[in-house]
Amino acid sequence: MQCDYFDRGVCRSCTLMGQPYGDQVLDKELRTRELLHDAVEAAGGPGAVEWLPAVTSPESGYRNKAKMVVGGSVQHPTVGILDDRQRGVDLRHCGICTPGIQRALPVLAEFVSTAGLIPYDVRQRRGELKYVLVTESPDAELMVRFVLRSEGQLPRLRDHLDVLRRVLPQAVVVTANLLPEHKAVTEGDREVVLTEQQTLPMRLGPVTMHLRPQSFFQTNTAVATQLYAQASAWIDEVDPASMWDLYCGVGGFALHAARPGRAVTGIETSREAIVSAKQSAREAGLADVRFAADDATAHALRARPAATPELVVVNPPRRGIGAELAGWFEASDVRHVVYSSCNPVTLARDLAAMPSYRLRRARVLDMFPQTGHLEAVTLLSRA
């Protein structure tokens, strides 16, 4: 992939830009194999691991969510990033974003001027509009979120909502997120939904998930579809009567793996995500699937031995599941674990802390082309 922003030195966020794509994927796979091999060896784990071919992605146009800093002025806003002097750098034609987002960003930049929204100046700590967050569904619908410092410009957003819907009819969910603090985070706790529709349907294969404004969703729709399909195939192979999906988000693994007679429980700290997951399960008529807002480790530690499932899916953040949950697995009766990780370093660390399990299968999925990040999914079984 060629990127003018990268070539001009305007943006270097995609650290592997310009490297042949095949080399990127090979390097990620070799790095992951080495880390997991060392972890298995350290734990004394026997047996060969079956490595499936890496799942590749389109090199460009893959990212279904854009987190754009708003800078500049009302008359000449920028949407993109900040430079080292905290000035706005415009990236409205960023090539890794989905085509729908690429078309939407110039429209949104013009809307900032039309609605008179005042970009936030980080250096001066003045202004209101900090970010524009845009997510595109597989059906080309958009969720647009304006991150504001205060409620001061909410009336302007409401007054111009019809204008936005006219120039950007794909925007089926529009919200204002309030972030009053001056700190390095993208969004605040309070969300004001401005449209009647409150969720963005994300249809992946046979499953439709509902994405609420503050819920996590995999950023590469094509690769996420294959991730859920791979995990479901492994789960069906061992055919557990009961399973947990820990760190379940909006329920991706749980909803894809649900089968008649299989008791599935999804656990996630985000209440917004759990509301979405419950809605998806209800609409799909999945009577044997339940979701609850809870901490993954706390849920496991509280569970009675009789309630331990046959299989557990874990999809933790970059820090991994940690020593406490890994220790619970080691002492539990869980027979199989599907571990999906965005950080092979912490994945390897966690596997080393679970020597009773044998790493049976593994696969690298290139969720983040042009960067060093990746997703790896593994199947573990009791040795």
Closest listed residue to residue 194, CA positions, set 155, 152, 232: 155
Residues 5, 10, 11, CA angle at the centre, nearest 5°?
Answer: 75
Determine the Cα–Cα distance for residues 191 and 360; give it in Å rounded to an integer. 43
Long-range pairs, 71-74, Cβ under 8 A, ≥24 = 71/119, 71/120, 71/121, 71/122, 72/119, 73/119, 74/112, 74/113, 74/116, 74/117, 74/118, 74/119
Determine the Cα–Cα distance for residues 321 and 297; give it in Å rounded to an integer. 8
Active site residue 97: no
Which H or E run contains 345? helix 344-352
Cβ contact 198:212 at 8 Å: yes
Q: How many CB atoms lie within 10 A of CB 167?
A: 14
Tokens 């249809």 label which residue? 203
4 CB-near residues (< 8 Å, 6+ apart): none
Task: Tally the C-alpha atoms within 13 A of residue 194's C-alpha that lie toward its C-beta.
Answer: 24
Q: Exposure pattern of 255-294 as b/e (b: 16+ CB <10 Å)?
A: bbbbbeebebbbbbebebbbbbbbbbbeebebeebebeeb
Which H or E run contains 37? helix 21-42
Determine the Cα–Cα distance for residues 151 and 149; give it in Å rounded to an integer. 7
Determine the Cα–Cα distance for residues 67 and 75; give it in Å rounded to an integer. 21
Q: Residue type at 99?
A: P
Q: Exposure pattern of 174-191 as b/e (b: 16+ CB <10 Å)?
A: bbbbbbeeeeeeebbeeb
Residue 372: both structure tokens together: 């060093």
- Positions annotated as catalytic residues are 342
